[in-house]
C-alpha cells in the first residue's frame, strides 16, 4: 500500500512523552504529524529519478534531465546523499550512503567529480567555461568543498592539489597519470579527458588570500558594504570559501606568519554584530537570518563560541513566529530552523555553562509556549511551495532556472528542484525541542527509492560537457 506511514506512530508517541504528555505536547505532536505529511512516496520516486547513469550523477530538476542545455549538478550529488542519510531511509544500512550505492555507482560519481577539476585545483561546473565560473566566487568555492569531501568519502582523491588543502593523486578519471596522459578513444558514456602537461601544478589561491592586508582589503571593500544590506549574499560567499581561508592561513603560519587569517575573519565579523538583532542585519528578516545561518557554520566548524547566541536565537524565533511573507525563496523558511539548530549546537559545544543555559532555556520556553504556532506557521508557508510533482520549488509558482554562478539547472517550470526540498528542515524543527529523531522515511521507502534509482537509463541529448 502506497503512502502508509503508520510506522511513524511510535515515534510520535515517544515525542509526546518526551514533551511532557500534556495538552501542549499533544498540540505539538499533531503539528509535527501535519508537517511530516508533506513527505510522500511520490517525492521519494521524484528524487531517485534525477539520477543519470550515463553521466554518473544527479540532475537538480526533471526538466533539466530531459531537455537539452542542461547537465548534472555537483551540489545535487551532495544533497541527495544527505537526504538518504538524514531522512532515515537507510538506517538499516548504517545510515551511510556508501553502504547503499553499488560499487559501480560510487565509482561513476567519483569519476563525475574528478572530471571537473582543472590544474589550478578548483572544480568547474562542466557546463561552464573556466573564465565564466571564476567570476562567481561562492559557486567555485562550493564546488570545491563538495567535490573534495565526496571524493574522500568515496575513497578517491582529487587529481591536483586543491586550494582548501587536499592533496591530489595525479590520476585522471580512468586512473591514468595525467603527466603521461594521451587522449583515449571515446568510450560510451565516458567523455574525453583534456590533455595536461604537469601533475601537481602549484595551487593557485585567490589574490585576496595573499596575506592579512589583502584579505582585510577584500573584507572591507567587497564584504563590508553588503553585510547589512545583503546579508545572505555575504554569508553565502564567506560560507563557501572559509575552508580555503583556513588552508591558506595554515600555509602562511607554516611559512612564518605571526597572524591567522581565520582570526582576522572572525574578529572582523564580531566587530560588526548588531546590538539589537545579535547578528549582522539591523532588522529581524528572512534575509538577515539566512545570512546569519550561513556564517555561524564557520564558528561551528572552527570551534568558536558565537558572541551573541541569546540575541540571535530571539531574532530567529521572532522570524519563525512572525507574519513576514515568504515569497522570495523556500530556503528562507528552511534556514530559520537550521539557524536555530546551529545556535543550539554552538552554545552546547563552545560556550560557558551560564551562557549555554540562558540560550537553551530561552528556546525551550518559547517552544513550549508557542511551539504549535511555530510549526503551524512554518507548515502553512512551506506547503505553498509544493509542486504538482510532489517536490518543492524555490518560488510558490515555479522553479528557478539558474542557480549558483548562473548555472542552468532547469526550464523554470512549475516543478520541484532538489535544492529547494529542504529535507533537513523537519529534523531541525524536531531538534529545537530536544526530542529524539523522528525519521521522515524508513526501509520501506528506501526500497521504493532503490527500485526507481536502478531503473534509470542513460539520457541521450545533444548537450556535451566542456570537459
Report phi then psi at 190, rounded to 5: -125, 110
Q: Is the pLDDT of residue 353 over 70?
A: yes
pLDDT higher for 192 or 261?
261
Cell 512572525 maps to which residue? 322
pTM, full prediction: 0.85
386 has which bridge partners?
392
pLDDT at residue 323 in the model: 82
**Residues 173, 98, 424: CA angle, nearest 5 degrees:** 110
Residue 184's pLDDT band (cuts 50, 70, 90): very low
Q: What is the pLDDT of residue 200?
A: 33
pLDDT(73) > 70: yes
pLDDT digits 0-9 by tens, 211-254? 999 999 999 999 999 998 889 899 999 999 999 999 999 999 99
Residues 6+ apart with CB under 8 A from 227: 234, 272, 280, 291
Bridge partners (DSSP) of residue 123 are 117
pLDDT in tens, 269-307: 999 999 999 999 988 888 899 999 999 999 999 999 999
- Label residue 466 by pLDDT band (50, 70, 90): low
> How far is 348 from 351, CA to CA, in rounded Å?
6
pLDDT at site 190: 38
For the chain, percent of residues with pLDDT exceeding 70:
93
Closest C-alpha among 443, 450, 465 to residue 48: 450
Across the chain, mean pLDDT equals 89
Amino acid at each position: 500500500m502506497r503512502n502508509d506511514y503508520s510506522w511513524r506512530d511510535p515515534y510520535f508517541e515517544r515525542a509526546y512523552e518526551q514533551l511532557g504528555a500534556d495538552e501542549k505536547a499533544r498540540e505539538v505532536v499533531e503539528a509535527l504529524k501535519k508537517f511530516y505529511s508533506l513527505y510522500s512516496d511520490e517525492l521519494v520516486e521524484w528524487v531517485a529519478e534525477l539520477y543519470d547513469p550515463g553521466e554518473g550523477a544527479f540532475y537538480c530538476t526533471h526538466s533539466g534531465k530531459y531537455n537539452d542545455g542542461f547537465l548534472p549538478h555537483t551540489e545535487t550529488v551532495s544533497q541527495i546523499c544527505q537526504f538518504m542519510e538524514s531522512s532515515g531511509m537507510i538506517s538499516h544500512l548504517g545510515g551511510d550512503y556508501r553502504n547503499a550505492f553499488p560499487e559501480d555507482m560510487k565509482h561513476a560519481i567519483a569519476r563525475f567529480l574528478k572530471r571537473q577539476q582543472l590544474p589550478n585545483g578548483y572544480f568547474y561546473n562542466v557546463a561552464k567555461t573556466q573564465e565564466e565560473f571564476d567570476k562567481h566566487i561562492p559557486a567555485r568555492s562550493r564546488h570545491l568543498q563538495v567535490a573534495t569531501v565526496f571524493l574522500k568519502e568515496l575513497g578517491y582523491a582529487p587529481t591536483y592539489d586543491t586550494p582548501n588543502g587536499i592533496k591530489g593523486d595525479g590520476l585522471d578519471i580512468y586512473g591514468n597519470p595525467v603527466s603521461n596522459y594521451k587522449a583515449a578513444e571515446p568510450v560510451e558514456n565516458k567523455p574525453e579527458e583534456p590533455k595536461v602537461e604537469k601533475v601537481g601544478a602549484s595551487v593557485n589561491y585567490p589574490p585576496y588570500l595573499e596575506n592579512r592586508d589583502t584579505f582585510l582589503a577584500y573584507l572591507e571593500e567587497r564584504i563590508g558594504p553588503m553585510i547589512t544590506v545583503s546579508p545572505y549574499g555575504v554569508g553565502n560567499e564567506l560560507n563557501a570559501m572559509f575552508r580555503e581561508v583556513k588552508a591558506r592561513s595554515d600555509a602562511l603560519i607554516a611559512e612564518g606568519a605571526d597572524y591567522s587569517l581565520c582570526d582576522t575573519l572572525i574578529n572582523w565579523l564580531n566587530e560588526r554584530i548588531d546590538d539589537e538583532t545579535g547578528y549582522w542585519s539591523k532588522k529581524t528578516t528572512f534575509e538577515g537570518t539566512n545570512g546569519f545561518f550561513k556564517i555561524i557554520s564557520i564558528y561551528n566548524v572552527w570551534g568558536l563560541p558565537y558572541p551573541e547566541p541569546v540575541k540571535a536565537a530571539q531574532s530567529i524565533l521572532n522570524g519563525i513566529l512572525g507574519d513576514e511573507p515568504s515569497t522570495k525563496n523556500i530556503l528562507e523558511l528552511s534556514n530559520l530552523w537550521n539557524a536555530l539548530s546551529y545556535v543550539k549546537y554552538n552554545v552546547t559545544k563552545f560556550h560557558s555553562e551560564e551562557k549555554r543555559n540562558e540560550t537553551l532555556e530561552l528556546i525551550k520556553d518559547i517552544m513550549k509556549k508557542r511551539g504549535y504556532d511555530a510549526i503551524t506557521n512554518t507548515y502553512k508557508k512551506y506547503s505553498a511551495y509544493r509542486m504538482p510533482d510532489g517536490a518543492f520549488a524555490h518560488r510558490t509558482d515555479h522553479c528557478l532556472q539558474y542557480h549558483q554562478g548562473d548555472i542552468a539547472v532547469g526550464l523554470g517550470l512549475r516543478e520541484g528542484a532538489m535544492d529547494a526540498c529542504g529535507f533537513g528542515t523537519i529534523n531541525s524543527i524536531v531538534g529545537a525541542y530536544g526530542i529524539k529523531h523522528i525519521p521522515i522515511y524508513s526501509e520501506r521507502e528506501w526500497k521504493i527509492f532503490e527500485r526507481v534509482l536502478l531503473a534509470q537509463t542513460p539520457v541521450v541529448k545533444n548537450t556535451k560537457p566542456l570537459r
